[in-house]
Amino acid sequence: MRVVNFNAGPSTLPVSVLEAVRDEIVEFDDSGMSIIEMSHRSDTYEAVHFGAADLIRELLAVPDGFDVLFVQGGATMQFGMLPMNLLTGASKGGYVDTGAWASKALADGSHHGEVYAAWTGRDTRYTRVPTVAELSLREGTRYLHLTSNETIGGVQYRAWPDVPVPLVADMSSDFMSRPIPWERFDVVYGGVQKNLAPSGLALVIVRRSILEHTSRELASYFRYDLHASSNSMYNTPPVFPIYVMEKVLRWIRDRGGVAAMAEAAEERAALVYRTIDESDGFYASPVEPTSRSNMNVVFRLADRDLEAAFIAEAARRGLVGLTGHRSVGGVRASIYNAMPMSGVEALCELMDEFRSGTG
């Protein structure tokens, strides 16, 4: 029986997509073979590959002046690849340290360029994003790096900071759940294994005009310009995640696109936060209201000793994946695009019943 899957990533996918994969995986499109056995230079695979890229352009309204790249290694590899490509000469990368993922981006970047923290929330336990006034930008800053949503901490930018340098964002855990104001960004990247596809693929969307100034003194796989000029076919792409993503993108389009995803995300998150806020302190969010994520709702029980029982009762009801990240503990409900409202309602019902049964 299918459970309600609150995993933080890999995470729930539309069941209709899984069923379509099941029906096609032995033989794709009368080709006499599986999509995963096919040359990536074949017309059949290329239709999927370019179809996926076109859908991303359409759904996120990516302007003509940007390239959509499919790169392996997840967002984690981009922590190195981004400064390798962009920090040429004496330019610097500013990083806003909003939590576990932003910290990793900064630490990894330090090996491949001059980077610095433009702000850190470490001393306040990562409970919010900074205001613009709190950001310290240094002379020669090439970009300001943001982590649009901290999957572990549940902290999200609800608005983009207005700064005089291009933004770069890791959108791994809220890609395709919100529109992107492209005029502000030089690069947007993210792993796809939360809102979009199975693991093994990152999207990197790059402003084309910067490619001629990116480094070419790198092995081919590390070069943004080469992935762009080869349509992400410089070497064999990760066929299966791209193939599944193309189906998920169509599922998103059929349900009304990114605007509809954004609206549904707000509704799901609002219900959980309301249940938290109206619990008389039985449940509490550690995140300041203005920075609360609508993708990863993190909360604690006032009585920490009850958290294990809460998670066990959830599992008994078929609600799984609610354990907070091992680095922070507590409860985390990841409610990505493919999470149905009914799953969130079941969670909130449990929260109310658990509270009244033990309170």
Binding site for its own copies (CB under 8 A): 1-3, 5, 7-13, 15, 18-19, 21-22, 25-27, 31-34, 36-41, 72-77, 79-81, 104, 107-109, 111-112, 191, 193, 198-201, 217-222, 234-241, 244, 318, 320-321, 326
Rounded to whole angstroms, how far apart are CA atoms 47 and 51? Answer: 6
Give 244 or 262: the residue with its C-beta nearer to its own copies: 244
Minimum distance of its own copies from residue 218's CB (angstroms): 5
Q: CA-CA distance, 203 to 48, in Å (whole number)?
A: 16
Amino acid at 138: R
Tell me the H-state helices in 87-162.
100-109
Q: Is the Cβ of residue 129 or residue 344 nearer to its own copies in the bound state?
A: 344
Q: How far is the CB of 156 from its own copies (least distance, A)?
A: 20
With respect to its own copies, which residue has the nearer C-beta, 163 or 314? 314
CB of 30 to its own copies, least distance (A): 9
Q: What is the C-alpha separation between 73 and 119, in angstroms, rounded?
A: 27
**Of the two residues 15 and 47, which places its CB atom closer to its own copies in the complex?**
15
Contact 88, 215 (CB under 8 A): yes
Least Å from the CB of residue 16 to its own copies: 10
**Active-site residue (options: 170, 174, 186, 225):** 170
In SS3 terms, 8-67 reads as CCCCCCCHHHHHHHHHHCCCCCCCCCCHHHCCCCCHHHHHHHHHHHHHHHHHHCCCCCEE
How far, in Å, are 14, 17, 129, 331 from residue 2 at the CA level? 12, 14, 36, 21
In the complex, the smallest distance separating the C-beta of residue 12 from its own copies, rounded to whole angstroms, is 5
Is 182 catalytic? The answer is: no
Please, what is the minimum distance in Å from the beta carbon of residue 254 to its own copies?
20
- Catalytic-labelled residue, pool 92, 174, 194, 225: 194
Nearer to its own copies, 62 or 252 (CB): 252
**Whether residue 194 lies in the annotated active site:** yes
Token pair recorded at residue 301: 């029980």
Give the separation between CA 137 and CA 78, rounded to whole angstroms: 22
The smaller minimum CB distance to its own copies, of residues 109 and 130, is found at: 109
Query: What's the token pair of residue 234?
Result: 């410089």
Q: Which of 92, 97, 101, 108 is catalytic?
A: 101
Annotated catalytic residue 29? no
Q: Which of 103, 11, 79, 15 lies closest to 296, judged by CA?
A: 11
Alpha-helical (H) ranges within 287-340 are 307-316
Kindly list the catalytic residues. Answer: 101, 170, 194
